[in-house]
Every structure is written in C-alpha cells, then in structure tokens.
C-alpha cells in the first residue's frame, strides 16, 4: 500500500494536464497583477489594529523590529514558494508542489488543509467586512435589522446578510474571469494603499520623540498556563514567553506574523500567469517586501503619536489620531479597512477554488469540478459550489474562535513547501528552474524551524481542531481519493508518470 500512498506525480505530467483543453485555465496575469494580488490579501485589518495591540502588550515601540523579524521569517518561505511556482506553474500551490515531491497522501493532506484554511479565512474576513459596513451605516443613521446582522449577540434567528451577499458577489466576479478580478483588485488595492500612505504621512506630523522612550521596554515574565487556551509549547515544556525586552520582540513577531498571511495565495495563480517563470518570483517577493515596509512605517508612526502604554486595543491607530485632536481619521481608516477587506475575501476565495480545481483534475476529488467554463476559461463549478457554501457559513456562524485555524493551516503549508524544495532538488536536479532558492538546504531548513516554532505558540485548542479536520481528511482520502486518483488508473495516465516514493533519495 505504501507504494500507492507515496506515489509522486511527475512535473512534466502536471504541466501536460494543465494544457488539456477542457481543464486549461486562461493565462492573463502579469507580474504587476500578482504583486497587487499579494498586497491586496496581505494588507487587511491587521495593519490598523494589530500594530498598536502588540505594541501595548508585547514589544512597545520595538514592534517595528517585530515586523522586520516576521518579514524575514515569511521571506524564507517566500523564497521556497518562488522556486516552486516558477518551476511548476500549475494551479494548486503547496498541494501541487508536494504531489511532485512527497507523494499522493501528503499532497492530499496539504490540499485538504488549504481547503480549510482558505474557506475559514474567506468567511472570517467576510464577517469582519460586514461589521465595518454596519458601523459606517450606523454613523450615517442607518440601522440593519437585528435578524440580518449576524449571530453575534443575536436573540433567536441571526443571519449576516451582508457577509453572505459579499461572498456571492465575489463568486460571480471570479466566475466571469481572472482579468476582471485583477482589475477590480487593482482599483481596491490602490484605494487601500492610499489610505495607508495618507495615515503614515499625516501621522508623521504628530510624532513626539518622547513616546519612543524606552524603545525596548524592560522585560516582563509571563506566567505559564495549563489549559487548552495556552500555547502548545507551554503545555509540552512548561515554557512561557516573555513580554517586552529583547525576547518580547520575538514574542511580538509570533503574533504579527499573522498579519503577513496571504502571500502564499499568489502561488495558486501560477497557471493563469502569462510568464510564470519570470513573474511568479516577482509577484511573491515584491508583495511581501511592499507590505513589510508599510507595516514597519505604520508601527513607527502609531507608537510615535501616542505612548505605547496608552494605546487602545480595539482601534489603536484611529484612537491615536483622536488623541491628537483629529477624530475624522477614525472614519477614514474604517473606510479604508472596509474597502480593503473586499479584496482579501476575493483572493482567499480564489485560492481555495484553485486548490479544489487542481485536486479534482487529479481525480482526488470528483472530476466533475475540473472542467473550465467554455467562454470564461475559469473553474466555474468549484467556484460556485464553494462560494455558496462559504456564504452560508459566513451568514450563520460566528467564526472568531476558528480564525486561528487559518494560521496553523498556513504554517503547515510553509513547512511542506520548504521540505518539498529540498526533496525535489535531490530527486529532480535536471528540472529547469527559472528561480532557485538560495543556500539550499539551509534556507528551507530555517523556514521549517521558524514555521514550527510559530505553530507551537498557537493554543492547544487550535491544534485539537486541526487534528480533527486532518482525521476527517484521511477518511475521505481512503474512501474516495486513493481509488479515484488518476495516478492509479493507467488508462488515464502516460507511461512513466508514476514514480517511486522519494524517501530513498531524501
């Protein structure tokens, strides 16, 4: 059985499958489009909320250094993604990469993981967007009916009509075409980045040097916890991170890291890129660099406007402007956040449909979902299915507690991609690589260690939920995926497609 569980799919076969007329996606994206996608999904509410929250609770003004540390950790993973996405420009991201290196079962596991990550991410962001819109409506004197405002605080029936409506509209846009999606994304990202830049420039005029003293506050020990809400590293080793001081910077980095989540979604669009060998590395690394620079600038501004001990937790940047006598910026920031979240939601939905499409094309999910629209050349069937399901989930569910599942799913994908780079370098040294991750295996190994460390800092409860989802995935694979896989059907594959597991070479 092990020979079937770890059978790998040759890169050449993946590329051939992507060219089949019924299953081929339209190539319409440029490096600029990819960079805009990356910036669009990375910059969300985190830049307006997380910066001040972490400054107050974990690092003080040194939160700027925490963003740099988190950016470096993400860059390690981004270098691995850039090599794979340019060498194997096929939809599916980490799923496709692991299929070519680790084998079918690991590929299924990571694909199943990504489906959960992107689905929950889309629903969580849609609910967050709905909250911003309702707030803006209330400021204008409009009140949504309680029954249509979501489950939070609802007495009886509660459905978030705004969140569900947003998902359905974005689903329609994605069905119509990637180029339309890219144009809408470009417009919205331009608005969002303009808001961020205005906040940075305007806030710079209210900076007081005294607010940076001390830049790295004195360290404070944190008492270790013992329940499922505690980080897994505490339960395993009894170790508790410290706040403030030099170690507080690294504690803060493990928190603000999640503001960077999203650049990996750029890799899911590799098959729809005109020149993936050149443009995928530019899109992935370029978007990460731009967002790191903006995060660092915002953190410097907010801690300079108001002393870190006085920052609010809910809306630190907006409240910092209120403290300087400019309350209208609060509405301006809310407007930028609400507009920006539409793009975050759309790109997360795009990423999930591409992973689902790739798994379907390989037979691990029903092949019905792998046919593209005859006119738009988009995977319309999985897009519509997933869009409707996520719209219902976003409308009926309060997902705050599940948001951390998005984080653990992303970090798990980072680990798989880094390991896959090392394996494929040894098993397929002949594979053309337009972009090569530097210092292999050092950089991928550092990426694995950094990702595992951040995963250990997540609550044990998150690990439990993640484990339940993975067990469900194993059941589905053995009931359906393994017997319907195209690699297990010689009549549907070409000679030499199935290869031995890579364990003998790694």
Output the DSSP codes for 330-350. HHHHHHHHHHHHHHHHHHHHH
Cα 327 from Cα 318, distance rounded (Å): 7
Q: Is residue 39 part of a domain?
A: yes
Cα 282 from Cα 433, distance rounded (Å): 15
Cα 316 from Cα 324, distance rounded (Å): 12
Range of the domain at 204: 2-209+255-504
Structure tokens at 257: 């890291």
- pLDDT on residue 494: 45
Beta strands 498-499; 8-9: pairing state: antiparallel
Q: Is residue 154 part of a domain?
A: yes
Ramachandran region, residue 439 (left: φ > 0; alpha: ψ -120 to 50; beta: rest):
left
Q: Is residue 372 part of a domain?
A: yes
**Which residues share a beta bridge with 102?**
none
432 SS3 class:
coil
- pLDDT on residue 398: 64
- pLDDT on residue 504: 40
Q: Is residue 341 part of a domain?
A: yes
DSSP 8-state secondary structure symbol assigned to residue 231: B
Q: Is residue 52 part of a domain?
A: yes
| Burial degree of 162 (CB within 10 A; 0-12, 13-18, 19+) | buried
472 within 8 A of 478, measured Cβ to Cβ = no
Q: Is residue 120 part of a domain?
A: yes
Instruction: Report how many domains make up the chain.
Output: 1
- pLDDT on residue 501: 44
Structure tokens at 451: 């990702």
Q: Report the chain (506 residues): mean pLDDT per 10 consecutive residues.
A: 80 88 86 91 76 88 94 93 90 89 92 87 84 77 76 67 94 86 86 89 92 91 70 77 85 81 82 92 94 94 93 77 80 79 88 92 93 90 95 78 69 91 92 92 95 85 88 94 85 46 41
b/e per residue 1-27 (b: at least 16 CB within 10 A): eeebebbbbbbebbeebbeeeebebee
Concatenate the DSSP letters of all residues of 121-149 into one string. HHHHHHHHHHHHHHHHHHHTT----GGGB
340 within 8 A of 332, measured Cβ to Cβ = no
pTM of the entire predicted model: 0.85
- pLDDT on residue 150: 62
**Which residues share a beta bridge with 499?**
8
95 within 8 A of 361, measured Cβ to Cβ = no
CATH classification of the domain holding 179: 1.20.1740.10
Cα 145 from Cα 141, distance rounded (Å): 13
Q: Is residue 198 part of a domain?
A: yes
- pLDDT on residue 192: 87
What stretches of 362-503 show up as alpha helix (H) in DSSP?
A: 380-396, 403-427, 442-456, 460-476, 482-484
Q: Is residue 214 part of a domain?
A: no
Ramachandran region, residue 159 (left: φ > 0; alpha: ψ -120 to 50; beta: rest):
beta
């Amino acid at each position: 059985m092990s020979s079937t569980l770890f059978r790998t799919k040759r890169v050449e076969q993946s590329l051939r499958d992507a060219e089949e007329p019924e299953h081929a996606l339209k190539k319409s994206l440029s490096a600029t489009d990819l960079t805009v996608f990356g910036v669009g999904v990375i910059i969300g509410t985190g830049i307006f909320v997380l910066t001040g929250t972490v400054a107050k609770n974990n690092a003080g003004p040194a939160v700027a250094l925490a963003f740099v540390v988190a950016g470096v950790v993400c860059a390690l993973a981004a270098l691995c993604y850039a090599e794979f996405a340019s060498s194997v420009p096929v939809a599916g991201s980490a799923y496709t990469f692991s299929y070519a290196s680790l084998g079918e079962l690991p590929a299924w596991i990571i694909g199943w993981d990504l489906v959960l990550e992107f689905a929950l991410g889309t629903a969580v962001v849609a609910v967050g967007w709905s909250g911003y819109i309702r707030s803006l409506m209330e400021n204008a004197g409009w009140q949504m009916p309680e029954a249509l405002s979501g489950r939070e605080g609802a007495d009886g029936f509660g459905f978030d009509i705004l969140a569900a409506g947003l998902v359905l509209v974005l689903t329609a846009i994605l069905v119509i075409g990637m180029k339309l999606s890219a144009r809408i994304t470009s417009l919205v990202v331009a608005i969002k980045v303009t808001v961020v830049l205005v906040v940075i420039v305007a806030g710079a005029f209210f900076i007081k040097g005294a607010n940076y003293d001390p830049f790295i506050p004195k360290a404070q020990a944190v008492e270790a916890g013992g329940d499922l809400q505690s980080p897994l590293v505490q339960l395993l080793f009894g170790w508790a991170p410290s706040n403030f001081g030099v170690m507080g910077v690294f504690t803060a980095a493990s928190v603000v890291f999640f503001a960077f989540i999203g650049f990996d979604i750029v890799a899911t669009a590799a098959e729809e890129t005109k020149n993936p060998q050149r443009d995928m590395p530019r899109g992935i690394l370029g978007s990460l660099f731009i967002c790191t620079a903006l995060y660092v600038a915002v953190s410097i501004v907010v801690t300079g406007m108001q002393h870190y001990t006085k920052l609010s937790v809910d809306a630190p940047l907006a409240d910092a402007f209120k403290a300087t006598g400019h309350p209208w910026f609060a509405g301006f920031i809310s407007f930028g956040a609400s507009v920006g979240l539409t793009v975050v939601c759309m790109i997360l939905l795009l990423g999930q449909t591409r992973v689902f499409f790739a798994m379907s094309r390989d037979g691990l999910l029903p092949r019905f979902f792998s046919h593209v629209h005859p006119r738009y050349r988009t995977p319309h069937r999985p897009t519509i299915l997933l869009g409707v399901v996520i719209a219902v989930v976003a409308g009926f569910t309060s997902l705050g507690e599940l948001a951390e599942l998005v984080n653990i799913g992303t970090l798990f994908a980072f680990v798989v991609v880094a390991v896959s780079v090392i394996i494929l370098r040894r098993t397929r040294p002949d594979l053309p690589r337009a972009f090569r991750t530097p210092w292999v295996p050092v950089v991928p190994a550092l990426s694995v260690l950094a990702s595992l460390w951040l995963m250990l800092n997540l609550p044990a409860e998150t690990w439990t939920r993640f484990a339940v989802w993975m067990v469900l995935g194993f059941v589905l694979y053995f009931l359906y995926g393994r017997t319907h896989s195209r690699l297990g059907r010689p009549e549907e594959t070409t000679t030499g497609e199935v290869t031995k597991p890579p364990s003998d070479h790694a």
